[in-house]
């Protein structure tokens, strides 16, 4: 890298308030102006421009900006010396990232950050507080912006306007009226058929199988085929109709003309993750669009759904509900009932025999297997001799004492190194040593100090582990003591003890089902 002429990476970002592009591929006027201004400034400083990077369709809170992340890579690899932006907010509006990169890693990597119009410059002493204040103001801006957007969306939803980017299967956006839905005639025919078949007595799995046999694409695949910008299914399994899709469709009152929105809410303005809301918090406005299903058919279907649910499950969650997976397609096994017996079946196999060889097991057989394995597990962990061999409750007393001695010694050495650095700096100030000598000696001392600090952290972590280990083992023991010699499996037990169970077919030699239990303990 050229020592006399520092390399600068120029970073530009389009702000929401100056969006003026005619075409997506074009640079906005804002980006063009930023590039011109920053290029002129870099040339005046005699900096070598390594490259100009811009993210023209991203917000300042988006951490997945491609060129933003490329800048970070260049900085980490030391391929640049300076990052130049119009302002700190163009680089990021998140205070967390300001602290992590501008005040943290950039200093460690010896990267200078310059925000031209707001005078953010990491080479200027006393400039840090103003950068932190700017970061805090930008953080407030993001929070206020998020609340404003939520308020606008909530207002539109309460008026019955559709606010989502994607539209429910069976409908499409009205090109002549914002927020209004019109019927998609092709998909709507499938929706009507699903409701009609269920009303005639066909089960949800049977309906899914019928649609798959006729090659009708499921809602996800249909969107892809219609050219909607939607995530494509990873494989053929993702293109199939399944029990869950039919079940969700049959209970969605959007199909009778009611707008249902606000079923999910974001965790925070910093995250794109959503969590479901309770039904009483949903925003439902009746009669906002043309229904696909008439009210008589809807009421008939809802009556059948409610009538079929309780006798089948007794109003209780099954012992293995959402706990078992098919070994071959990884889908959660679905409970079915034949006379008095209950079974767990692969849902993929049920809707399309060509896609998966499938798993199938009696709930009684699985219960016996789990109880047997559970009793063996309890016996293993609660056997005192084996417990003391495998999970050492009492660490040798001198191990902790030795760690404490090492920690004390490391702390003493760190204090010595800190003092040495101060003395070395004073020697430089008093011109006892030269600048080059100071840099060489201080670099070595800092390196040794960093190594000892890492060792100190590791020793403290080990002490913490030793302190916690006995509590962890005792907690595990107390949990397992509740299940000594159990003869009946309950839902509480599977929830507390089992992460999930993988079920396969019978083994050719032993003729026993392949069952692999993944315990939480």
What's the CA gap between 446 and 505, in Å, rounded? 61
Cβ-based burial of 241 (10 A; exposed 0-12, middle 13-18, buried ≥19): buried
* CA angle in degrees (0–180, nearest 5) for 38-50-57: 60
What's the CA gap between 347 and 237, in Å, rounded? 11
Is this prediction's pTM over 0.75? no
Each residue's pLDDT tens digit, 168-212: 999 999 999 988 999 999 999 999 999 999 888 888 888 998 999
- String of DSSP letters for 323-390: TEEETTT-PBPEEEEETTEEEEE-HHHHH-TTT----EEEHHHHHHHHHHHHHHHHHHHH-HHHHHHH
Give the highest mean pLDDT range of 108-112, 201-205, 304-308, 311-315. 108-112
Where residue 391 falls among pLDDT bands split at 50, 70, 90? very low
Identify any residues that bridge with 7 across adjacent strands, giving them in sequence order. 48
Q: Specify the pLDDT at position 148.
A: 59
Give the highest mean pLDDT range of 137-141, 343-347, 432-436. 343-347
Domains defined for the chain, CATH in brackets: 7-154 (3.40.50.1390), 171-313 (3.90.1750.20), 317-521 (no CATH)
Cβ-based burial of 359 (10 A; exposed 0-12, middle 13-18, buried ≥19): buried
Mean pLDDT of the chain: 79
Where residue 225 falls among pLDDT bands split at 50, 70, 90? confident
Q: Specify the pLDDT at position 57.
A: 65
Where residue 127 falls among pLDDT bands split at 50, 70, 90? low
């Amino acid at each position: 890298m050229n020592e006399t002429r520092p390399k600068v990476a120029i970073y530009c970002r389009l702000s929401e308030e100056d969006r003026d592009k005619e075409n997506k591929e074009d640079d906005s006027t804002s980006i063009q102006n930023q590039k011109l201004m920053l290029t002129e400034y870099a040339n005046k400083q005699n900096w070598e421009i390594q490259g100009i990077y811009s993210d023209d369709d991203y917000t300042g809170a988006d951490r997945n900006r491609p060129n933003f992340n490329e800048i970070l890579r260049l900085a980490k690899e030391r391929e640049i010396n300076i990052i130049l932006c119009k302002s700190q907010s163009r680089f990021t509006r998140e205070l967390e990232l300001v602290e992590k990169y501008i005040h943290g890693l950039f200093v460690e990597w010896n990267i200078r950050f310059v925000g031209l119009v707001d005078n953010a410059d990491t080479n200027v002493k006393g400039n840090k507080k103003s950068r932190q204040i700017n970061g805090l103001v930008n953080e407030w801006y993001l929070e206020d912006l998020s609340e404003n957007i939520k308020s606008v969306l909530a207002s539109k939803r309460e008026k019955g306007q559709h606010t989502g980017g994607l539209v429910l299967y069976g409908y499409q956006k009205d090109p002549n009226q914002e927020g209004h839905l019109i019927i998609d005639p092709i998909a709507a025919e499938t929706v009507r058929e699903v409701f009609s078949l269920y009303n005639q007595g066909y089960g949800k799995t049977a309906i899914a199988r019928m649609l798959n046999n006729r090659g009708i694409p499921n809602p996800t695949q249909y969107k892809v085929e219609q050219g909607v910008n939607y995530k494509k299914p990873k494989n053929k399994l993702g293109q199939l109709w399944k029990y869950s899709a039919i079940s969700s469709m049959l209970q969605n009152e959007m199909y009778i003309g009611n707008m249902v929105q606000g079923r999910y809410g974001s965790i925070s303005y910093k995250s794109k993750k959503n969590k479901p809301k309770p039904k009483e918090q949903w925003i439902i406005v009746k009669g906002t669009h043309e229904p696909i299903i008439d009210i008589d058919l809807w009421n008939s279907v809802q009556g059948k759904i409610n009538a079929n649910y309780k006798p089948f499950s007794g109003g209780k969650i099954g012992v293995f509900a959402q706990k078992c997976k098919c070994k071959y397609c990884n889908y959660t096994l679905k409970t079915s009932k034949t006379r008095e017996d209950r079974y767990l079946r692969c849902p993929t196999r049920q809707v399309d025999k060509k896609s998966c060889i499938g798993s199938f097991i009696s709930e009684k057989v699985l219960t016996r297997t789990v109880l047997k394995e559970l009793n063996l597990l309890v016996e293993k962990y609660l056997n005192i001799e084996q417990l003391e061999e495998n999970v050492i409750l009492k660490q040798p007393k001198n191990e902790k004492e030795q760690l404490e001695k090492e920690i004390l010694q490391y702390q003493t050495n760190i204090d010595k190194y800190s003092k040495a650095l101060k003395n070395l700096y004073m020697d430089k100030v008093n011109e006892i040593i030269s600048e080059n000598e100071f840099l060489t000696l201080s670099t070595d001392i800092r390196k040794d100090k960093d190594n000892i600090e890492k060792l100190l952290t590791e020793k403290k972590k080990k002490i913490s582990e030793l302190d916690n280990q006995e509590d962890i083992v005792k907690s595990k023991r107390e949990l397992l003591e509740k299940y000594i010699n159990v003869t009946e499996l309950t839902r509480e037990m599977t929830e507390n003890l089992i992460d999930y169970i993988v079920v396969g077919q019978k083994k050719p030699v032993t003729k026993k089902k392949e069952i692999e239990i993944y315990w939480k303990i």
